[in-house]
Amino acid sequence: MRITLREQLLAAIFAGIISILSQVTIPFGLIPLTLQTFIIGLTVTILGTKTGTWAITIYLILGLIGIPVFAGGSAGFGVLFGPTGGFLIGFIFNGLVTGSILDNTQKNYFWAVVANIIGAMVTLAFGTAWLKFGTGMELLAAFKAGFIPFIIPGLMKAIACGILGIFILRRLPQRYFAPTK
């Protein structure tokens, strides 16, 4: 897969944006809303599968090498491959799934919301499975800890980033953001 200089620059810029917004937490009942998962969906909605997933990968590499870009200013091998690291790794699969849906449908509000909801559920499923195997938890316990509490916040963020992503995308010059083949 060839990535153009323009796509590399956009991916790097968005990796920086992901890094910054991952630090923002909005208190919301028992489960705070972090903008980390929100910006993942927004990135792929705007940049497409290839460039968006590359931006997510750059973000994960930054955290892996010790730059404190993950939520709460965390970083390192232990975070990425620890019990909750599956949610971070799941971002790559979120990007691939969300982007693939958007690449194969019309880029409109409906499909952007659907794609982001499915992508968010992919992140939760991957993170929950990782949590189960990484900690030895029973599947039901991992599901209760890693999936159920995040469904409503995930749906809220997915709907918001689907709508905002298309809103932004329609206002950007397409010569810079149109995916290359």
pLDDT in tens, the chain (181 residues): 788 999 999 999 999 999 999 999 888 777 778 899 999 999 999 999 999 999 999 999 999 999 999 999 999 999 999 998 999 999 999 999 999 999 999 999 999 999 999 999 999 999 999 999 999 999 999 999 999 999 999 999 999 999 999 999 999 887 666 555 5
pLDDT (0 to 100) of residue 29: 74
Q: Which domains does the chain have, with CATH numbers?
A: 5-176 (1.10.1760.20)
Among candidates 92, 91, 94, which has minimal Cα distance to 116? 94
| Residue 32 φ then ψ, to 5° | -70, 150
pLDDT score of 110: 98
**DSSP for 25-75?**
EE--TTSPEEHHHHHHHHHHHHH-HHHHHHHHHHHHHHHHTT-S-BGGGB-
Q: What is the pTM of this model?
A: 0.93
Closest by alpha carbon to 23, among 69, 88, 87, 78? 69
Q: Residue 44 has what pLDDT?
A: 97
Give CA torsion, residues 127, 15, 38, 147, to 10 deg. 0
Cα of 19 vs its chain's centroid, Å: 11
Across-strand partners of 70?
Answer: 74
* d(C-alpha 159, C-alpha 96), whole Å: 18
Distance from the first to the final alpha carbon of the chain: 10
| Inter-residue contact 44 to 87 (CB < 8 Å) | no
According to the model, what pLDDT value does residue 179 have? 56
pLDDT at 174: 74
- What per-residue confidence (pLDDT) applies to 26? 86
pLDDT reported for residue 178: 57
What pLDDT does 28 receive? 74
> In the beta sheet, which residues pair with residue 34?
25
What distance in Å separates the CA atoms of residue 59 and residue 153, rounded to the nearest whole number?
A: 22
